[in-house]
Structure 1
Amino acid sequence: MKQEYTSQAELINGDLRVRVEAGELRSFRRGDREYMHDPSEPGWGHSDTEMFPVIGPTAEAAYRVQVPRGNAIQDQHGLLRELAYSCTVREKDRAVFVREYKAGTPVANSKYPGRSTARLLIWPFSFRVEKHFQLGPGSLEITFRVEGEKDMPYMFGYHPAFRLGGEGSLEACGREFELSEILAAGDRALEVPACETVFLGGDTPLRIHTAGFGNFMLWSPDPGMVCVEPITYYPYTHGPARLHEGFRFLDSKKAEFSVRLQPAG
């Protein structure tokens, strides 16, 4: 029987430190400099999460998403975030967390009834998502491995929140974004298409390199933080009723995405 560890992991490599709690990246530090947003501070009650198997709002479509098979009832950003992670690997500089779902299993929606009328969420395909943390001497690599039924439709996005200090400038693919511009975008988030690298400036400079996603969304509910979200699809491209037009399909029962966080100062 495969050993499972506690839901927490502390990783160390040189002057880099990482703390993961129940699969959530709660802290990424270089010396005394913290890069991750603290959920207890204003803005957002998490430091990271994942968006799967859909990205974006579904309320306007009565929480129904068109798929080739059966019922798909999804709240905003999908149901993966409602599942518990289990830790299957824990070493000094590496940890692996896993979430699994069996097709057709009803999942309680934590937003119900206060922020949603969908009590239960359901997806007609089975899947498994692995979240790998590898702490190198100068960066943190987070790799997602998505396994599921062949031709399963899906979108995938990573939703980390970073601290902002000082000017808090942000550059992506040759364009500079002001925090005011990101704040003004509101809950729709600001689209950054066809881009895989972002530089986050200010007092906690950080380079964010991605592979497999292809795009970003930028979201901030508070001047002290910003979410830099690599995504496979920007959900407002066609609107909630046509969300299905943004699906990719698993062509080999497996897909991989990666995010590298590299302190720059």
Structure 2
Amino acid sequence: MTILTLPKQQVRIDQGELVGYLVDGHELIHQKGNPGWRNSDTEMFPIIGPTNEADFKVKTPRGEAFQDQHGLLRELEYELLESTETKAVFEKRYQANTPIKNSKYPGKSAAPELFWPYDFNFKKAYHLKEDGLEICFEIEGEDGMPFMLGYHPAFNLATEHPIIKTHEKEISIPEVMAVGSRALQVPKESSIILNDQLELTIKTEGFEHFMLWTEVPNMVCIEPITFYPYAVEQANLDTGFSYLEGGTVKRFKVFIYPI
């Protein structure tokens, strides 16, 4: 377990996963074992969305790749590169075309192995600051590599009627639940507010949208994404790709500001 601390704040990280964020005694992160989801956070990379209707195949410039829902990154293990009282950096590395066992097979998937036809390095860095928590993602890979990125944190809900606020409207938890597994799209937003036990502001850099998901009233996933996958047929998921440019590192940031 990696622990970051500042006065009135504590962050707990388990092998790269954000499993706790305490602010003035309030736990902001969904706890494993509670109803809703078996994780606390994860990443969606190099794709977002399900692939079962496309036989788990995704088109790339180098041919078809086998990917299960939300990509193969979550099947890899993080390595801790750096750790201080207020900062921790983790990394995953992948070599092109390496077969990766799919943990969903056979119970929840018909794809026993997954692969991606590009090399990449993926870093996830936590930085605890006086005003909140910054999470930075760095993607380094081959020139022209297609990708999508989504961050999938689950927030603990402690009050009876929490509200999610965007620039244009307010969204209730029952509204999110009504959408079901597809997740509710919040397009063209870089900032969103969760009013619950605290007023929690989630701001992003690099991401273009959010999507919201929950099936229970005690937690909600507020997910920054580069592409909303349910806007297209699964066979056309490639239309939502961004692309790496040669020699560059793409950076994306999520800021969690508790008030």
What is the TM-score when the length of structure 1 is the normalising length?
0.95
Matched ranges for 1:130-145 at <5 A: 130-145=123-138
Q: d(CA) in 1 for partners of 2:34 and 2:198?
A: 17
**Aligned with residue 233 of structure 2, among 220, 236, 239:** 239
The answer on whether the counterparts of 1:82 and 1:108 sit within 8 Å (CA) in structure 2 is yes
Structure 1 match to 2:33? 40
Structure 2 match to 1:156? 149
Q: Aligned-pair distance for 1:205?
A: 2.4
Cα displacement string for residues 103-136 of structure 1 (whole angstroms, at most 9, x for unaligned residues): 0000000000000000000000010110000000
Structure 2 match to 1:261? 256
Matched ranges for 1:17-28 at <5 A: 17-28=10-21
Q: d(CA) in 2 for partners of 1:11 and 1:88?
A: 15
Q: d(CA) in 2 for partners of 1:121 and 1:194?
A: 31
Q: Aligned-pair distance for 1:80?
A: 0.2
Q: Say whether residues 1:76 and 2:66 are aligned partners.
A: no
Structure 2 match to 1:98? 91
Amino acid at match of 1:106: P
- The ranges of structure 1 where at least 4 consecutive aligned residues each deviate by more than 4 angstroms after the TM superposition are none
Cα displacement string for residues 63-107 of structure 1 (whole angstroms, at most 9, x for unaligned residues): 000001034000000000000001000001000000010000000
Amino acid at match of 1:59: N
Q: Aligned-pair distance for 1:237?
A: 1.0
Q: Say whether residues 1:228 and 2:231 are aligned partners.
A: no
Structure 2 match to 1:3? none
Q: d(CA) in 2 for partners of 1:179 and 1:33?
A: 20
Matched ranges for 1:184-195 at <5 A: 184-195=178-189
Q: Percent identity?
A: 45
Amino acid at match of 1:222: V
Amino acid at match of 1:182: V
**Aligned with residue 61 of structure 1, among 54, 62, 66:** 54
Q: d(CA) in 2 for partners of 1:173 and 1:237?
A: 22
Q: Say whether residues 1:198 and 2:181 are aligned partners.
A: no
Q: d(CA) in 1 for partners of 2:211 and 2:32?
A: 20
Q: Aligned-pair distance for 1:254?
A: 1.8
Cα displacement string for residues 168-188 of structure 1 (whole angstroms, at most 9, x for unaligned residues): 110012211111110011110
Amino acid at match of 2:219: M
Q: Aligned-pair distance for 1:204?
A: 3.3
Q: Aligned-pair distance for 1:202?
A: 1.7
Q: d(CA) in 2 for partners of 1:185 and 1:67?
A: 30
The answer on whether the counterparts of 1:165 and 1:204 sit within 8 Å (CA) in structure 2 is no
Name the one with the larger strand percent: 2
Deviates more, 1:200-209 or 1:147-156: 200-209
The answer on whether the counterparts of 1:164 and 1:204 sit within 8 Å (CA) in structure 2 is no
Aligned residues: 257
SS in structure 2 at match of 1:180? helix
The answer on whether the counterparts of 1:16 and 1:138 sit within 8 Å (CA) in structure 2 is no
In structure 1, list runs of 5 or more residues that go unmatched. Answer: 1-7
Q: Aligned-pair distance for 1:137?
A: 0.9
Q: Say whether residues 1:52 and 2:45 are aligned partners.
A: yes
In structure 2, list runs of 5 or more residues that go unmatched. Answer: none
What is the TM-score when the length of structure 2 is the normalising length?
0.98
**Aligned with residue 174 of structure 2, among 175, 180, 184:** 180
Please, what is the CA RMSD of the aligned residues? 0.8
Q: d(CA) in 1 for partners of 2:78 and 2:200?
A: 27
